[in-house]
Amino acid sequence: MSSMPLSKASAVDAAYEHFPSFLRSRQKAKLLDSWQRGEQYNLDPNDLDDDSLRFAGRPYRPRAAEVTDEFDDLAERSPNAFAGLVVTSLAQTAYVDGMRMPGSESNMKAWDTWQANRWDAKQGPIHRTAIGIGEAFGVTLPGKNPLTGDKMARMLARSPKRMAAFWDNDDDEWCMFAIDAVKVYEFAQGLGIRLHTGWSVQLIDEKVVHFLSCKGDGQQKKDWTYIETRDHGVPVPPVARLANKVDLDGRTTGEIEPVLPLLRRIDQGTFDRLIVQRFGAWKVRYIAGMAKPTGNDAQATMLAMSLADFLVSPDHETKFGSIDSTDPKPFADLTDADLRMLSAITQTPPHHLLGLSSNLQAEALAAAESGLQRKSADFKMNAGEFHEQMARLTALINGDREEANAFNMQVRWRDTESRSLTQAAQALGTMAVQLKIPVEMLWERLPGWTDMDTERAKSIVEKGGIDQLLAEIAGGLGATDGDSGPTENEQPKKSSSDDGQ
């Protein structure tokens, strides 16, 4: 990696050379994002290349001459949102609750910047994007607190639909540079619509941010224009990538891409079942070899027929019969089979996809979700490295070199495993008694227990209010287990410490 920023000419050359790669990455991200949001049917075929058209999400239908508005209506009801459910099931197991320096019991200073940038709320979307599409990006730049005006690092989340990063070596921690591009539109007066005319591009290298623009998709070098340069003050490109899964060749893979054929099969099966429900779910009665009445007799016969009447024919060759309806159950069973396969491939608990009752015992529920928890641990390894990179960048911009060099910092993840509070409390109590682990270390292991709860508990203990803390915890456990508390005749005895109050 060069120690000097790119010159104006070199920045234009780099943008021109790598912009086609950004556009291909963006196209793939748009395809996967549409599946993640359940909008695969609405994909514009003009936005896809020939290799991606088959994943546009539109089920195959009868020949064009036979297609009616009714077929179109059924096709629009066919897309399923199972891809988004697979992503959400994993994303809901990954919440960052804090970052600590080695040996510290409190969060590092960079955590305050995390909170000031509302990253508590942003971490969910950035995790979902990385899980579904395969990667997401974070950018940390010098800025100011919008309320106080104090200097503060700004943490920005970027979608792969907007940003692409490029590495010299696949094993490098920091990229060579990143391209951040948004479309530019102009209003066409005669047509009354906005037309895409080009791109506004930022090329971020290890010293500065280059601002450029291009006409169209920048296919010709003459389409590119250099605008200005701004120093970002960081010795590396301040861009970190969160990859769901990355191999030794630098390829990132999300949860949706490997199962796209299976997801298309589920949508096609839904369409086929709707066709059966609409056109084949009734018996068809027929008469063969019977002459239709003509003239006034026909009108009289139509008026006279009722449900209690029988049709008879004097011709012995006349045949009466019916064609049975098509049973839609086999189509539904095939969809269930595909969903079970999707559950196995993505390690998503089957009761999430099949809508089965989750009224299970804690042990059975934990066993059903064990595969998801293992996949979650795998994702947290990559996500933890991403958040550490962002924290070190934040600390460097804030002038804290100690935290900027803290490569062994610890990202704390919220415990999202399925187990009851009583079960967890009993296990932690056993650890405290038998293993002599300080209870302060075990508080954060309680399900739903946050750092704010830990700080409040420590404050209460330091003020001598341990009895109050234990009473609150006992009250919470009692409420969870359905204990209604002491009755009128079973009031708690007054402790000796209360006599003097």
Q: What's the pLDDT score for residue 135? A: 96
Q: What's the pLDDT score for residue 448? A: 66
Lowest-pLDDT choice from 265-279, 381-395, 407-421, 449-463: 449-463
117-147: pLDDT as tens digits: 999 999 999 999 999 999 999 999 999 988 8
Give the ranges where 183-256 is alpha helix by DSSP (H): none
Strands 177-188 and 193-204: antiparallel
Between 390 and 280, whose confidence is greater? Answer: 390
Query: CA-to-CA distance for 205 and 158, rounded, in angstroms?
Result: 16
Task: Give the pTM.
Answer: 0.79
332 touches 277 (CB < 8 A): no
227 touches 214 (CB < 8 A): no
Query: CA-to-CA distance for 62 and 68, rounded, in angstroms?
Result: 10
Q: What's the pLDDT score for residue 65? A: 55
433-453: pLDDT as tens digits: 777 787 777 777 776 666 677
3-state secondary structure of 118: coil
Average pLDDT over residues 254-265: 93
Tokens for 3, please give them: 């120690």
Average pLDDT over residues 419-427: 69
Lowest-pLDDT choice from 27-31, 50-54, 153-157, 495-499: 495-499
Between 463 and 122, whose confidence is greater? Answer: 122
Average pLDDT over residues 258-268: 93
Could you tell me the pLDDT band of residue 189, with boundaries at 50, 70 and 90?
A: confident
Q: What is the dihedral of CA 100, 104, 106, 111, to 10 degrees?
A: -30
Could you tell me the pLDDT band of residue 359, with boundaries at 50, 70 and 90?
A: low
Q: What's the pLDDT score for residue 488? A: 46
Q: What's the pLDDT score for residue 50? A: 63
Whether 365 shows a pLDDT value over 80: the answer reads: no
Q: What phi and psi values does residue 252 have, to the nearest 5 degrees?
A: -105, 145
Radius of gyration of the chain (CA): 32
Q: What's the pLDDT score for residue 86? A: 96
165 touches 178 (CB < 8 A): yes
Query: CA-to-CA distance for 258 and 244, rounded, in angstroms?
Result: 13
293-317: pLDDT as tens digits: 666 665 555 556 565 666 677 777 7
Amino acid at 96: V
Could you tell me the pLDDT band of residue 489, with boundaries at 50, 70 and 90?
A: very low
Give pairs for 492-498: CB < 8 Å, separation 24+: 495/467, 497/467
Whether 207 shows a pLDDT value over 80: the answer reads: yes
